[in-house]
Amino acid sequence: MQHVAKWGNDFKTLEEYSARFARWVEVDLFIAAINHPESGETHTAGHNKFSTWHEHEYEALMTLQAEQAPEDEPQVFELYKHTPERLGVAPATLDWRTASTCVTPVKDQGSCGSCWSFATTETVETAYCQATGELKTFSEQQLVDCCTVYAGCNGGNYPKAWDYVNEMGQMLESDYPYVAADTTCVYDATKAVASITMVDGHTSTSIGNYLIRNYGTPEEIMAGVAVRPAAIAVNASGLRFQTYETGVLNNCTNTSLNHAIVMDGYDSTASVPYYQVRNSWGASWGMNGYILLGMTEGNEKGNCGVQQDVDYPNIGANW
């Protein structure tokens, strides 16, 4: 009942209450097992707004549509592989929230499966700020409604969404507010602020420079994220990810990618080295909206698949 009060749950019938309570008990037992002193886990779990959600409701948030790299393209793309002097040696630790003023606060996609639009927008926001010195909040709803190559609340990905921003520009959140639902496109070209202009060439069909495709090493990923926060793909299914609260999540063996989020830091010197990842489920989830995913040495898929797909939009000066 404390949980119901905290999250403002409104269950209409006794049957619904009973079903939600049964799910909460299942989650509560899982949390107790993770937090047991002898569990060997490097993270802690806790209840959150998802604790009474049925599995199919939670899974509906994860609608990343896989973008397959052509078979003849290298695993590590040109930006890293052939121009290490541009990237330089990545620092051992990095947190873009404190390293710059170009990171927007944690957002909440609600019950719409629009994770892809948030990963796209948040990386554009930082890239725009790096180029102009102005941090602006852009519209995820515009991508949900107007980027028709994808399916709005039913799924998408960041590469072609960056292409859309390159072609059409992106409006401010204040001009095109987020409503967490599929609505009619009301794009206004006169209010489009951000656009991405490709520079230095690229090795994919997208405006984004793929730093890692298939698998990457921590060194390669850190070198990329040291340039700017990157959109990444992970597997967010299951109670291990859902109930994450603090610490470094390891032992996350499901690597089938289904959720888009943003990596904006890492610490390779921590007792348990990790990637710092910004989710789009609000600040009440995880560590104020963040999750730390353990690094995996060598060319591995990584915890929850985190080392498989690390991309960011490459930009020019035309904004």
- Residues tagged active-site: 115, 259, 279
Q: Give the pairing type, strands 208-213 and 309-313.
A: antiparallel
End-to-end CA distance of the chain: 51
168, burial (CB in 10 Å: exposed 0-12, middle 13-18, buried 19+) = middle
Tell me the β-bridge partners of 4.
none
DSSP string covering 203-265, please?
Answer: SSSSSEEEEEES-B-HHHHHHHHTTS-EEEEE---SHHHHTEEEEEE---------EEEEEEE
Element (H, E) at 131: helix 115-132
C-alpha dihedral, 300 to 301 to 302 to 305, nearest 10°: 180
Which segments within 15-82 are labelled E, that is strand? 43-45
* Count of Cβ atoms closer than 10 Å to residue 217 Cβ: 18
DSSP symbol at 271: S
| CA neighbor of 99 nearest in space, from 137, 136, 126, 122 | 126
SS3 at position 86: helix
Q: How far apart are CA 305 and CA 216, in angstroms?
A: 10
